[in-house]
A = this chain, B = another copy of it.
């Protein structure tokens, strides 16, 4: 299994700067969740400054929700700059498969740079793997979600092909680097009733990767565990009150997360 000691502590100690080029729907949540886990967010999407900002950052998140033509070159600049410096690049292919623009851009980014961690829902990752994906907007399609028996195999083979960590989040999360594949059972259904929990998960993964660039597989697992466990804690604290209270409690839980909680509540196992 994975030694979960030190992953959150490392973020809080190092406060890695995480450069985001992301959508305007959930950008505030991403900034706040990055601060909550102890990292430092900077959002900057202009081509004139993308590389310059990426050059200061410990990790770069590229998120293609509300994509538009202006920010695609910025994403490529930022990603390539991070590559040159050895800073991890996290790609969140929001809605890949929902439109040609998003599908083509996800693939273009994967060709233009080395992506270190690819995190999406099952429909998005199926699309990138070249499998037929039934998408329903930015949410995973039901027929994809229930076919999660195949998810581990797909993640493993895609990770091997791309030479990166692939993470599929959903009812059961899958993380694979092509060799090791972990299945995670933490989380709560309320997380899917809030916008941006996927985007925030990518920000948490980036925060952990920024603090632990030599252990991207474990850092990705730590980021996803943080989101799932925070979702459970938030539901226990406030979930019955409704979506607004759950959201507040989710931010509370991430801001109070530590390695001990992570180790005690983590429920995961290696795939066969």
Contacts and interface: CB of A to CB of B under 8 A. Distances in A.
A215 interface: no
A252 B256 contact: no
A196 to B, nearest CB: 7
Nearest to A46: B68
Interface string A65-93: 11111100000000000000000000000
A27 to B, nearest CB: 5
Q: Bin chain A's interface residue count.
A: 35 or more
Interface in A8-55: 17, 19, 23-29, 31-32, 35-36, 40-46, 48-49, 52-53
Contacts of A17: 136-137
A255 to B, nearest CB: 4
A92 to B, nearest CB: 15
Given A43-B65, A242-B253, A243-B254, 18 more contacts: A25-B28, A25-B31, A32-B247, A35-B194, A40-B137, A41-B137, A44-B98, A44-B99, A48-B69, A52-B98, A52-B99, A53-B98, A53-B99, A56-B137, A193-B255, A241-B252, A244-B247, A244-B252
